[in-house]
Homo-oligomer: A and B are copies of this chain.
């Protein structure tokens, strides 16, 4: 008998995950969404084996439930459905903050496992119509298991990663995940947004080179999602921003001083760091 893999939320990531998991072992993929157009799209395009708007029914008897909603939606879902998961069920998620989600998952009854999950992939678009099965190819899948998470469940997510085409699976703590993501992801979005706040933005239309497009691409973001990601990771994100602003101010001071030798030294220092980052072989957290 096939096992039941429920994906709650068929947006960009949930939809892509459903597509990427087609044929994964003996799982039947059940998609859940509150939006009728999304369900219709999923049905018409064969995104899942079946779809439903009834989350409660879908969750019952499920072997794996992957919550692919916005962070607050995940927290609300856990609270609302905590008593519907069957014992031994693995609940996981796909969102970009982990400490707040793991905290929320403490409401689950004993015997229901939760492993935080963050597929490091995405685009600046949203919605199932932008989903595609290669979304995760060569990306990292970050896992933040609980202490009591079972090796079987971790192994299941590792096989899932292989099937969906992830480059690797990295285990870390929710706190480390959040500190790193504040820097590598959330701050990049704050930078892109702040650049676009410049009053001369539209005067410059047509003069954007690849550096401008590269820096600001992600500013066209999903407002609801990123409001939650920034809010739920505020301490780590503001700490990163403080460090970044201090480094910007150092550059500003040296540029204003007219001291070309000092400026050259600073450029050498920073560009060498970037070149070192570009070298092959990731220095991953253990």
Q: Name the residue of chain B whose CB is nearest to the CB of A198.
A: B243
CB distance from A193 to the nearest CB of B (A): 4
Q: CA–CA, A237 to B248, complex, Å?
A: 12
- Fill in one digit per residue for A187-213: 1 if any B CB lies within 8 Å of its CB, else 0: 111111111111111111111111110
The yes or no answer to A249 lying at the interface (CB within 8 A) is yes
Is B199 touching A183 in the complex (CB atoms < 8 A)?
no
On whether the beta carbons of A278 and B226 are closer than 8 Å, the reply is no
Q: Which residues of B contact A277 (CB under 8 A)?
A: 196, 201-202, 205, 208, 216
- Whether B209 pairs with A231 at a CB distance below 8 angstroms is no
Measured in the bound complex, the distance between the Cα atoms of B205 and A230 in whole Å is 22
Chain B residue with minimal CB distance to A167? Answer: B206
A204 touching B220 in the complex, CB below 8 Å, given contacts A240-B198, A247-B198: no
A238 at the interface (CB under 8 A from B): yes
A275 within 8 A of B: yes
Q: Label chain A's interface by main secondary structure.
A: helix
Say yes or no: is A219 at the interface (Cβ < 8 Å to chain B).
yes
Residue of B nearest to A212 (CB): B184
Q: Is the CB of B214 within 8 A of A214?
A: yes
- A151 lies within 8 A of chain B by Cβ: no
Stretch from A57-65, A76-84, A153-161, A253-261 at the B interface: A253-261
Name the one of B223, B238, B248 contacting A194, with C-beta atoms under 8 angstroms: B248
Q: Are A241 and B251 in contact (CB under 8 A)?
A: yes
Task: Report the minimum CB–CB distance from A162 to chain B (whole Å).
Answer: 18
In contact, A197 and B230 (Cβ under 8 angstroms): no
Instruction: Decide if A283 is an interface residue (CB 8 Å cutoff).
Output: yes
CA distance A67 to B216 in the complex (A): 31
Q: Are B188 and A211 in contact (CB under 8 A)?
A: yes
**Contact of A45 with B by CB under 8 A:** no
Please give me the 10 A-B residue pairs with the lowest Cβ-Cβ distance, nearest first: A206-B282, A219-B274, A188-B211, A214-B214, A193-B270, A194-B247, A205-B283, A197-B247, A206-B284, A227-B264
The contact sample of 9 A-B pairs, CB cut-off 8 A, is: A140-B207, A181-B207, A184-B207, A191-B195, A197-B273, A201-B277, A206-B285, A207-B284, A238-B256
What residues of chain A have their CB less than 8 Å away from a CB belonging to chain B? Answer: 120-122, 139-140, 142, 170, 179-181, 183-185, 187-212, 214-221, 223-224, 226-228, 230-231, 234, 237-238, 240-245, 247-252, 255-256, 258, 260, 263-264, 266-271, 273-278, 282-285
